[in-house]
């Protein structure tokens, strides 16, 4: 028996047995360890032993905003590998959150100084964003999610690395014979699934700063993946849409022979859906090597069509205020999008892994009117009339504007 921890009210979680050497850190509270059984207790002290499947169901129900807690969605967690890290994170979180109210303040990562505007950047942005083609995104997202190649991209499935290799191959084909581009798979300690890494070497060798763009390549079915890892989990919006959006960005860069001054890296992260596993290992490796990262863009869910397709939101928790400001300006100037903000309420995607290691990140999010939240992590997250590749194309354009702003001069 190792520790008490609370997921969020009304439940607290007590670990009663553990066979898997992985801890989960709940952003709303403390940490808990992956185990065969968990004893959970309600705030009134009623106790119950549940298995991991039932625990995931509780996490999933916590996704929904409730009448009593309309502002709080707290299913998120970091998977961390040892006791020390779990208690460090729990301690940090305790310092910044208020009792029973998740995450009033968040870490932001270091704040970068913003780049200067210039006329040549302005022209370059206009030139690049004019060449974005939404039908490419639609094709990629369909190929990754329609079941014709694999039923799921779940990290624990037998398709986990077929998916990673396929995505790496798409990038390689787009890269053609560019000598300054490397496409490789990144293996991990805490998941069998590989991440995909695409590096465009910066032309200015005196500049050691990195600009990073990424999105997770895995999918999950919250009710069934855990019991049957190969069960259907299309993850079209969450997050084939992010990978399709990034492939289109990369296609435009290659087609226009774009050469960044700083090194530009694209990631398809493995195993996000079980606790940001791939991105945490990658961000930790950058921190260990003392690499300088000037900005990270996360794309996670970009295709759910809303009542106002000219509206985009920026996540304000676990992100950099300065980068979010830059992205806001770029969206208003180049995409003609109205901008609002949203809070995940917890470390909801891979940007938080970079923030954890003090690197500045930002994340645009779909403008959700009728919520896509009810579809994600189910068999209903498919390409249908609710998903709109022309909306995702705006995310590609924003990514290109960000790349030019950070790496053109
Ligand atoms: N795509 C979601 C995060 C998200 C949800 C972004 C709603 C924007 C709006 C992501 O894949 C996800 O499911 N995250 C988990 C947490 C993660 C740490 C396992 C979640 O939201 O429960
Ligand atoms: Zn998800």
How far, in whole angstroms, is CA 321 from its chain's centroid?
18
Question: What are φ and ψ of residue 32, in 5° steps?
Answer: -140, 160
Class of domain 13-17+108-407: alpha beta
- Whether 216 is catalytic is yes
Q: Residue 152: which residues within 8 A CB-CB, separation 6 or more?
A: 159, 219, 221, 225, 229, 230, 231, 232, 233, 234, 235
Neighbour order of strands in the sheet with 31-33:
31-33, 23-26, 77-80
Distance CA 291, CA 142 (A): 36
Helical H segments across 261-320, by residue range: 277-288
| pLDDT tens for each residue of the chain, 409 residues long | 222 233 333 333 333 333 233 344 444 443 444 445 554 433 333 445 666 666 666 555 545 444 444 433 443 445 444 555 555 554 444 443 333 333 334 566 789 999 999 999 999 999 999 999 999 999 999 999 999 999 999 999 999 999 999 999 999 999 999 999 999 999 998 889 999 999 999 999 999 999 999 999 999 998 888 889 999 999 999 999 999 999 999 999 999 999 999 999 999 999 998 888 899 999 999 999 999 999 999 999 999 987 678 999 999 888 999 999 999 999 999 998 999 988 776 678 999 999 989 999 999 999 776 666 778 889 999 999 999 999 999 999 999 999 999 999 9
| Catalytic pick among 138, 273, 350, 381 | 273
Q: Nearest ligand, CA of residue 276?
A: 1
Distance CA 224, CA 156 (A): 12
Q: Is the CB of 238 under 6 A from ligand 1?
A: yes
Q: Is the CB of 366 under 6 A from ligand 1?
A: no
How far, in whole angstroms, is CA 99 from its chain's centroid?
27
Protein residue with least CA distance to atom 5, ligand 1: 348
Number of other residues whose CB lies within 10 A of the CB of residue 284: 15
- Kindly report the CA angle at 131 between 130 and 132, in degrees rounded to 5? 100
- CA nearest neighbour of 125 among 331, 263, 342: 331
| Catalytic pick among 170, 248, 281, 300 | 300
The separation between the first and the last C-alpha atoms of the chain, rounded to the nearest angstrom, is 56
Q: Is the CB of 272 under 6 A from ligand 1?
A: yes
Q: Is the CB of 301 under 6 A from ligand 1?
A: yes
Contact 314, 377 (CB under 8 A): no
Element (H, E) at 215: strand 209-216
Q: Map out the domains of the chain as residue ranges.
A: 13-17+108-407, 22-105
- Whether 69 is catalytic is no
pTM of the predicted protein model? 0.82
- Whether 63 is catalytic is no
Distance CA 196, CA 161 (A): 10
Q: How far is the CA of 348 from the centre of ligand 2 (A)?
A: 8
| Catalytic pick among 197, 238, 366, 388 | 238
Element (H, E) at 394: helix 389-407
């Amino acid at each position: 028996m190792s520790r008490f921890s609370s997921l969020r009210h009304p439940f607290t979680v007590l670990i009663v047995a553990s066979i898997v050497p992985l801890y989960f850190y709940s952003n709303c509270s403390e940490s808990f360890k992956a185990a065969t059984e968990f004893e959970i207790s309600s705030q009134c002290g009623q106790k119950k032993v549940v298995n991991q499947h039932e625990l995931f169901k509780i996490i999933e129900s916590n996704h929904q905003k409730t009448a009593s807690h309309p502002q709080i969605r707290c299913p998120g967690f970091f998977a961390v590998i040892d006791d020390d890290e779990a208690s460090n994170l729990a301690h940090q979180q305790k310092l910044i959150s208020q009792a029973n109210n998740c995450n009033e303040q968040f870490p932001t990562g270091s704040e970068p100084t913003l780049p200067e505007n210039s006329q040549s950047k302005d022209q370059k942005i206009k030139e690049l964003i004019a060449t974005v083609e939404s039908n490419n995104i639609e094709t990629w997202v369909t190929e990754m999610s329609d079941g014709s190649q694999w039923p799921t991209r779940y990290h624990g499935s037998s398709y986990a690395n077929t998916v990673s290799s396929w995505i790496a191959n798409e990038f390689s084909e787009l890269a053609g014979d560019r000598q300054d581009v490397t496409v490789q798979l990144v293996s991990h300690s805490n998941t069998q699934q590989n991440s995909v890494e695409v590096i465009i070497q910066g032309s200015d060798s005196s500049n050691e700063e990195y600009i990073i763009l990424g999105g997770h390549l895995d999918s999950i079915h919250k009710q069934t993946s855990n019991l049957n890892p190969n069960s259907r989990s299309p993850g079209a919006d969450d997050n084939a849409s992010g990978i399709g959006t990034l492939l289109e960005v990369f296609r435009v860069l290659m087609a226009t022979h774009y050469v960044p001054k700083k090194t530009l890296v694209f990631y398809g992260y493995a195993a996000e859906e079980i606790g940001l596993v791939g991105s945490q290992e990658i961000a930790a490796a950058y921190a260990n090597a003392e690499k300088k990262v000037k900005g990270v863009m996360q794309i996670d869910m970009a295709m759910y069509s809303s009542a106002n397709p000219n509206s985009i939101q920026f996540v304000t928790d676990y992100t950099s205020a300065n980068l979010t400001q830059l992205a806001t300006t770029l969206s208003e100037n180049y995409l003609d999008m109205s901008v609002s903000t949203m809070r995940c309420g917890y470390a909801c995607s891979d940007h938080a892994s970079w923030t954890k290691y003090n690197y500045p990140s930002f994340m645009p999010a779909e403008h959700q009117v009728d919520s896509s939240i009810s579809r994600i992590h189910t068999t209903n997250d498919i390409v249908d009339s609710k998903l709109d590749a022309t909306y995702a194309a705006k995310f590609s354009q924003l990514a290109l504007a960000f790349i030019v702003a950070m790496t053109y001069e």
